Structure 1
Amino acid sequence: MPRPSSDVHAFEAHASDADLDELRARLAAARLPEAETTRRRWDQGVPLADLVDVVDYWRTGYDWRSFEARLEEIGQFRTTIDGLGIHFLHRRSTRPDATPLLMTHGWPGSIAEFVDVVAELADPEDAEAPAFHVVAPSLPGFGYSDKPATTGWGTEKIAAAWVELMGRLGYDRFAAYGGDWGGNITTVLGGRFPDHVLGIHSTFAEGPPGLTADGLTATERRWAGETRDFWHHRAAYAKQQATRPQTIGYSLVDSPVGLLAWILDKFAEWSDTEDSPFERISRDRVLDDVTLYWLTRTGASAARIYYESHNSLDPGLRVDVPAAITMYPRDIEKCPRPWAQQRYRQIVRWRAPEAGGHFPSLEVPGYFVDDLREGLAAVLAAGR
C-alpha cells in the first residue's frame, strides 16, 4: 500500500467551555411560539411539547464531551484540497485483507451518523465478515471542514476531492458508500472515477429523467408516487436552501432552538417511526448531530449544498462499476429498480428491507452494518 501523504494532519475537536456555556444560556433564554393549532401531532412541524422536552435535556443533561471522546477514539484528521480544509474520520482496520471504504453523509446529517458503526466495520467480531479501512469526510461547509468562500463546491467537485483525499491516504482504489447527498456523490464517484472506485453501495438511487411507469410492479408504482408526493408537497426546506440559503442561515447560526427545530423536523418525518424520531434514535445521537452544526456555525454553509447541486445530477451519467442498492421503506426517495438499472448498469445486489428510513445507521444500526457488509462483499466479488 502506498504511504499516506504528509499533507494529512491529526485533528482534535474540542469546544471551549465558554462556547458550551453560551449554548446553555441561549437555550435557557429561548423565546418559543405558542403550541401548534392542529390536533394531529407534527402536522405543522415539531410540536411545542416535544421541543421543550429536547431543549431542556440539551441544556441540562446532554454531554458533548462524550461525543468528542468518541471522535477522538476513531481518529480525526484534516487536509487541504483545492484550497479548502477537509475534516475526516479515519479508522484503519487491523486486518491485512481490509478494503478501503469511503462513507459520505448528507443533510441534515453529518459524520455523527457513522460514529457508532465505524469500529464494527473496521474490526468486526466475526472473523469471516469483511473488514474495511473506514474514511468518513465532513462535506465542505459541514462540521469541521472549511466553509467554501465562493461558489463551485457542488457534488462533482466534491467527488473529485474525495478521490484526491483517498489517494493521499494511500488508497488509490476503494469502495464507496453514501445516502442522501452522500448517495448522490457516491453515484458521481462510480460514474466519473471507475479507475479508482471498486464499486458502490448506496441507499440513494436516481434513474435518468423521463422514464415510463409501464411495467412497474404495484410496489414500484407506490414508491414512485410517494417520491413524487414528497417533492411536490413536503420539500419546502429544499427549495428554501436551494434558493435562499443565506436567509435561513441567519436563524440556523444564531438560534440553537431554531437549528434544533429545523433539523429535528427532518429526523421525525424521514425516520421509520409513528410519532417521534426517538422511537428509534436516541436524543443523544440527534443532539450530537445538532450540536456539531451549532458549535461549528455551519447551518448556512451546509444549506448551500442545495444551492450548489439541487437537481444537478447529470442525466447522462452512467455507473458501470458494480453497485449494491438498498431502498429503506420509510426513506423520502425510493427508486424502482427498472429505473435505477438505466443508470446503474451493474446492480449486483438489491434490497428493500422491512424497516428503516432516511437515517439507517442511526435507526437500524445492526441491520445497516450487516447490509453494508453483504452489499460490499457482492460488489467486490463482482469486480474481481
Structure 2
Amino acid sequence: MSATPFTCRIPDAALADLRERLARTRLPDQAPEAPWTYGTDVGYLADLIAYWRDGFDWRAQEAALNAFPQAMVQVGDLAVHCLHAPGRGPEGGPAPRPLLLCHGWPGSVFEFLDIIPRLTDPAAYGGDPAQAFTVVAPSLPGYGFSFRPGQRRLGVEEMADTLAEMMGLLGYDRFLAQGGDWGAFVTTRMAWRYPERIAGLHLNMLPVRRDRTGADPTPEEAAHYERVAHWLKEETGYQWIQGTRPQTLAFALTDSPSGLAAWQVEKFRAWSDCGGTIEAAIPRERMLANIALYWFTGAIGSAAHPYFARMHRPWPIPDGERITVPTGYAAFPKEMVRPPRSLACGMFADIRRWTEMPRGGHFAALEQPALLADDIRAFAAAL
C-alpha cells in the first residue's frame, strides 16, 4: 500500500518537555521604542508563552485535526502526510471533484481545519452540494508530519513533482489545485509542468516576478513596484537568513519553543489583516497549534529550505513560459505583495476570475475561510 491511515498523537512526555522549556524561557529586554518596532514585542510574547504553558490545550487541537481522515503516502523515498477529506455531493449526482489544497510558511495543515468542511460539504453552509470537493491537504514535503530527520531537502520544483505523484497514488489523475505562499509556488509549478492534470488553478497569492519588467510601466504597475521595493527592504530579513543559513537558524528554533514562537508570531501579525492585534484575525488556539506542530515535528530547518532553493536557483517558471491552465485569483487586501492584473497576465495566460476581497490577509484560509471557500467554489463552477 502506498497510503496508510494516520492519526496524530503527540506523546505526553513531549508535552511535559515543552511546558518545562517554556517555564525556563529567558526573555530579552524590551527596546525603549514602541512595541513591535524591531520585531516581536516582549510583552506580547511573555503573555503568549504563559498561555502556551498553562492554558493552551494541545489535545483539543489534536482532536480537531484527527476529526479529518489522514494518510501517509509513500512517494519514492518520502512519506507525505495529508488530510484526505471526502466530499458530500448531491444524492445520485456526480462525484465531488478532487481539490489539492497547499499551505506555505509559517503555515501548516492547521490553517485548513475551518475551510475544509466548507469545501467538502457546502450544503451545510447554505451552498450547493453540487459544488462539493474531495479535499487533499498535504503537509508540504519537509513540513510537519511530512518530515523525517535526515531526509533530503526539497525546493518548490521537487515539491510539485512529489505532490503530483502523491495525487496519482491517491487515484486522482486530474484535479484542481489551490495555494497561497509556497503553496502558490508549488501549485503554479504543477500547472506549468503538468497542465493536462490540473483542471484549474486557484491562488490567494500570485507568484509573479518582483523585478521590474518593461520600460514604461502604468501608474498602477509603478505603484506596485514601489510597494515591492519597500517590502524587500523592510520585510524580507527572514528570507535572507532562511535562504542562506537555514541550518544555523535551525539550532535556535529547534532548541527553544519561545524562540520559535517569536520567529513566527511576528509574521502572523505583519501579514494578517489584524490591525496590530493578531487575535483579531487569527484565533490564538489555532496559531499556537500551528507553532506547536513545527515544534513537535522538529521540522523548522527543513521547512526553511525552499527559501534556500529559491535564492540559489532560477525562477520556478522558465523565462518566456506562461501558465495556460485556467486560473482564479482571490486578492486579499492585506496580502504582502499584490501585483496588478496587467503584470499577472504576463505569467498567467488564462485568468478566468479575479476577486477583490473586502478583508483578509496572507493567511486567507485561516483568517477568512468563508470568503476563500466561496471564491474557490465560484471559480470551479465556472470552469
TM-score computed with the length of structure 2 as normaliser: 0.93
Aligned pairs for 1:107-186 within 5 A: 107-125=105-123, 126=126, 128=128, 130-147=131-148, 149=150, 153-186=154-187
Asked if the contact 1:213/1:221 (under 8 Å) is kept, the reply is no
Of 234-243 and 313-322, more deviation after overlay is shown by 313-322
Asked if the contact 2:154/2:305 (under 8 Å) is kept, the reply is no
Q: Which runs of no fewer than 5 residues in structure 2 stay unpaired?
A: none
Of 144-153 and 319-328, more deviation after overlay is shown by 144-153
Picking from 17, 27, 31, the partner of 2:22 is: 27
Whole-Å separation in 2 of the counterparts to 1:80 and 1:138 = 13
AA aligned to 2:42 is: L
Aligned equivalent of 1:312: 315
Whole-Å separation in 2 of the counterparts to 1:99 and 1:318 = 25
Aligned equivalent of 1:3: none
Matched, 1:365 2:363: no
1:135-186 CA deviation, whole Å, 9 max, x = no partner?
Answer: 0111122100124746562111111111111111111100000000000011
SS at match of 1:139: coil
Asked if the contact 1:74/1:118 (under 8 Å) is kept, the reply is no
What is the number of residues matched between the two proteins?
372
Whole-Å separation in 2 of the counterparts to 1:222 and 1:213 = 14
Whole-Å separation in 2 of the counterparts to 1:240 and 1:75 = 36
Q: Which runs of no fewer than 5 residues in structure 1 stay unpaired?
A: 1-5
Structure 1 stretches (4+) deviating beyond 6 angstroms?
A: none
Picking from 48, 72, 79, the partner of 1:78 is: 72
CA distance 1:152–1:44, shift in 2 (3 Å): closer
SS at match of 1:140: coil
Aligned equivalent of 2:349: 345
SS at match of 1:144: helix
Whole-Å separation in 2 of the counterparts to 1:37 and 1:335 = 36
Of 99-108 and 368-377, more deviation after overlay is shown by 368-377
CA drift at 1:227:
2.3
Aligned equivalent of 2:53: 59
Aligned equivalent of 1:228: 229
Aligned equivalent of 2:218: 216
Whole-Å separation in 2 of the counterparts to 1:36 and 1:47 = 9
CA drift at 1:215:
5.3
Matched, 1:13 2:8: yes
Whole-Å separation in 2 of the counterparts to 1:252 and 1:352 = 36
Of 253-262 and 268-277, more deviation after overlay is shown by 268-277
Whole-Å separation in 2 of the counterparts to 1:179 and 1:148 = 26
